[in-house]
Structure 1
Amino acid sequence: MGLKVGVVGVGYLGQHHARVLSELSDVEMVGVYDVDPGRAEEVASRIRVRAHSSIASLVRECDAVSVVTPTLYHLPVIEEIFSIASPHVFLEKPIADTRENGQRIIDLTKKKNVLLQIGHIERFNPGLEAILESRPRPAYIEAQRLSAFGLRGTDVPVVVDLMIHDIDIILTLVNSPISTMRVVGTPVITPHIDIANAWIEFENGCLAQVLGSRVSMEKLRKFRVFDREGRYFSLNFDTRELSEAKVSLNPGSLPQIERGKRVFEAEEPLKKELRSFVDAIRQGRTVKVSGEDGLRALEVALEVNRLAEESLKRFQQIPSD
């Protein structure tokens, strides 16, 4: 029997959750819900499932639910779901709008004894998986995530919308407490920070430089790691191209550099991500991106944004000539 799953929120991203879940062989899509009934009907008819008129109607039939609403509504939606039933939850990133609300979501899922997976989709990029499998000891990390301006995601700062992906990856790779951060940032089009650059130093000595922008002329998703064993990794998230190098030092001779390049096959990351969630439920194992992972990334992202706003205030106080 298929795992009974529903989707709450079928906007731009939620419609893809509904489509992917409807395509998984061991999943039974019981329907979708959206605050816009017309939108719910449109998506439901496209994948031939039921458009429910309320969250209650949907989750009563679900073993698991995917929540793809605006971040501000994550906690209220989770609270409503758990007032009715106890499904496992896939929750799109970021986990919440505040640290306190993120912790509340984690506490609620633990009380209900259900799985919670956070939608940090880049963890499922095959190039990144290859880097993680190599178990580097990073000394320096450089991440660039640039996008052209669009309306989606502009209700939150760029740090929480885009940069949080790289923050999550960096925290996973480095696995050390943060010692200091320096950040600059500014709004360009929206009232929020639209471009930010952060220097994050960890207690183990690793330094990460992270750039996030949603006002660039072109899209860029680059991630570079230099580790303490003479290895270098450069990943283009979009093309799934991973360049690698290894420096060997031999006494009395010049350094030897071994280079390689791998391009991974295209596979929809969202399908891998939701497949992983379904498998965790069926096999009774832990999820790949836990609520605690999501909260840790959110905490750092919120602090980066706070520091960016502070840097902007200092800049605005400088007298012009």
Structure 2
Amino acid sequence: MKRIDELPRTLKPWSDGSGELMAPAVVRVGIVGAGPMGRLHARTVSRIAALDGTCALASVVDRHAGRAEEVAAEFDTQAFTDLDEAISEIDAIIVCGPTSTHHALTSWLLKKGLDVLVEKPLAATVAEAKQLASLASSCERILQVGHVEWYNHGWREAVRLAGVPETIEVERLNPESDRGLDMDVVQDLMLHDLDWVARYLDDTVVEVKARGRRVKHSGIDEAETELFFRSGCHVRLRVSRVFPDCRRTVRVSGSQGSVVADLLTRRVEGAPESSGSGPDPLQAQWRDFLVSIRDRKTPDADAVVGVAALELVERVRESIEGRGP
């Protein structure tokens, strides 16, 4: 297999079969998985469809018929339990199933010629993610991963106003729930911020120091990580999925001062109301996907980005378990 940084980011243009290039006027979207995330994506696609007509929610697929029918009825679309039957009427699809299903499902969908958006993480392991990146490249299909925080206005404003970053501190704390329990908190929550700082700084991580603990589940429930970059920037990340309430803040100290942003409201502390909170991140993510489909361009969070994030997740886990350098 090619190294991930050697994979070409070329995309196959749409064709009507006669050799004439064309893009769908309305992208017909399917959703696999009718759980909480599937419902959120169904709502977002439906809103975009109502706003500008660039897409349409064509189907909701879930092996549990009742769950698929409930979400499909709410958003006035078709319900399926058979994915093979559903894909005949869609152009693109999002995979919202358990992480353990991402590799097999996404591989099958790419081979069927569909552009695919996968909820994060891209796959359960780095090896599986690399296989998906390679397959998307060989199939010349768009493969985007749902790193939705990349589109968070609060993050973007904080780093813009702080100037050249010297330290970054992030708290991403969630109360206990039954979602995401097929992975640990590093892969579920910290992945967002590992992805953000690595992409924004575009620098080499020279050292990772991390610790974590299990509180109520078999996987790590709380973790703290320090990342040291070659540029000298020092990053501290703290995550929990058993915290009493929900808290998501980022503090960036840089050449222009220190800035704090609330990632839930997507606002910088002290900023005037007129500064706004930016677009809804999930809607911005979908617009990126839809534009990528239309223009056959690489999305902001493509498979290469998904692999890199999982590689950082693995380095954090190694440090927690005492396996790191």
Shift of 1:134: 5.7
Q: How does 1:59-74 map to 2 (within 5 A)?
A: 59-74=87-102
**In the alignment, is the contact (CA less than 8 A) between 2:163 and 2:256 conserved in 1?**
no
Distance in 1 (CA, whole Å) between partners of 2:159 and 2:79 is 40
Aligned partner of residue 10 in structure 1, secondary structure: coil
Distance in 2 (CA, whole Å) between partners of 1:167 and 1:261 is 29
Which residue is equivalent to 1:276?
Answer: 288
Which residue is equivalent to 2:261?
Answer: 235
Name the amino acid aligned to 1:141.
I
Look at both structures and tell me which one has the larger radius of gyration over its CA atoms: 1
Which residue is equivalent to 1:95?
Answer: 122
Q: Cα RMSD between the aligned structures?
A: 1.9
* 1:129-174 Cα distance to aligned partner (Å, 9 max, x none): 3345569422111111111111111221111111111111111222
Which residue is equivalent to 1:39?
Answer: 67
* Residue 194 in structure 1 maps to residue 221 in structure 2: yes
* 1:61-86 Cα distance to aligned partner (Å, 9 max, x none): 22111111111110110122234x21
**In the alignment, is the contact (CA less than 8 A) between 1:143 and 1:166 conserved in 2?**
yes
Which residue is equivalent to 1:303?
Answer: 315
Shift of 1:230: 3.4
Aligned partner of residue 233 in structure 1, secondary structure: strand
Distance 1:210 1:265, change over 3 A: closer
**In the alignment, is the contact (CA less than 8 A) between 1:182 and 1:198 conserved in 2?**
yes
Structure 2: state its 5+ residue gaps.
1-24
Greater mean deviation of Cα atoms: 300-309 or 153-162: 300-309
Q: 2:298 aligns with which of 279, 286, 298?
A: 286
Greater mean deviation of Cα atoms: 24-33 or 155-164: 24-33
Q: How does 1:251-266 map to 2 (within 5 A)?
A: 264-265=276-277
Shift of 1:202: 1.0
Distance in 2 (CA, whole Å) between partners of 1:107 and 1:51 is 31
Q: How does 1:18-167 map to 2 (within 5 A)?
A: 18-23=42-47, 24=49, 25-83=53-111, 85-131=112-158, 136-167=163-194
**In the alignment, is the contact (CA less than 8 A) between 1:136 and 1:173 conserved in 2?**
no
**In the alignment, is the contact (CA less than 8 A) between 2:162 and 2:256 conserved in 1?**
no
Which residue is equivalent to 2:20?
Answer: none
TM-score relative to the length of structure 2: 0.85
Aligned partner of residue 31 in structure 2, secondary structure: strand
Distance in 2 (CA, whole Å) between partners of 1:182 and 1:129 is 25
Name the amino acid aligned to 2:40.
H
Aligned partner of residue 217 in structure 2, secondary structure: coil
Q: Percent identity?
A: 29
Distance 1:207 1:90, change over 3 A: same
Distance in 1 (CA, whole Å) between partners of 2:128 and 2:56 is 30
**In the alignment, is the contact (CA less than 8 A) between 2:292 and 2:299 conserved in 1?**
yes
**In the alignment, is the contact (CA less than 8 A) between 1:74 and 1:96 conserved in 2?**
yes
* Residue 218 in structure 1 maps to residue 242 in structure 2: no
**In the alignment, is the contact (CA less than 8 A) between 1:138 and 1:173 conserved in 2?**
no
Shift of 1:308: 1.7
**In the alignment, is the contact (CA less than 8 A) between 1:140 and 1:208 conserved in 2?**
yes
Structure 1: state its 5+ residue gaps.
245-259, 312-321
